[in-house]
């Protein structure tokens, strides 16, 4: 049975819950919930195992904080002997508007500290990642406040819809592969 590693990026702690920067945690949580799994505290991450037909998914939410996410990713890839191609990182993306998301098989960290940590630890940019557009609607110099801020009431319904679509994307990635999932989800404008 092939195993996949699904990595939701975020920061631990109540003050970060459901912020823009923690969207990776929220997608992973929804995926695990949909498939009847539950998390347990483990080495460097909260972990949950779920099954999707004949595939096993290990979903992790690193407990290392965003800037050290790579430690958790490398540990679980090595421990479970999972290929990088079967690892999908879920991450927030300032450079994409809220109505977009983009799946890629590789690429730069784009200035994202979580991706930077993974790239440094794995010594590679070749691992799939889903960038969840959070937009960049903030005044000059307020990027950190925006990223670590909570969604507005106006944004929230679209965010919930996109979380559902992100879960479907993960399932498509696992069952049908990267290119099928990219073709199906990358060029969509998500709206209610």
Positions marked active-site: 21
Cβ(134)–Cβ(150) under 8 Å? no
**Angle, in degrees to the nearest 10, between helices 178-185 and 156-176:** 150
CA distances from 21 to 71, 72, 77, 108, 121 (A): 19, 18, 23, 18, 21
Place of tokens 């002997």: 81
């Amino acid at each position: 049975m092939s195993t996949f590693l699904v990595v939701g990026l975020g920061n631990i702690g109540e003050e970060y819950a459901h912020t823009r920067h923690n969207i990776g945690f929220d997608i992973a949580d929804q995926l695990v919930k949909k498939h009847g799994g539950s998390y347990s505290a483990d080495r460097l991450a909260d972990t949950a195992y779920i099954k999707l037909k004949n595939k096993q998914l290990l979903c992790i939410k690193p407990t290392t904080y965003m800037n050290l996410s790579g430690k958790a990713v490398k540990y679980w890839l090595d421990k479970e002997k999972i290929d990088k191609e079967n690892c999908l990182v879920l991450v927030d993306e300032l450079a994409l508007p809220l109505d977009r998301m983009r799946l890629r098989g590789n690429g730069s960290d784009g200035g994202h500290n979580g991706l930077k940590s993974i790239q440094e630890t794995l010594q590679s940019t070749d691992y799939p990642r889903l960038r969840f557009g959070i937009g960049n609607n903030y005044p000059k110099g307020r990027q950190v406040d925006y990223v670590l801020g909570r969604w507005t009431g106006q944004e929230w319904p679209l965010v919930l819809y996109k979380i559902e679509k992100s879960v479907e994307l993960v399932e498509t990635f696992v069952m049908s592969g990267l290119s099928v999932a990219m073709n199906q989800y990358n060029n969509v404008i998500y709206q209610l």
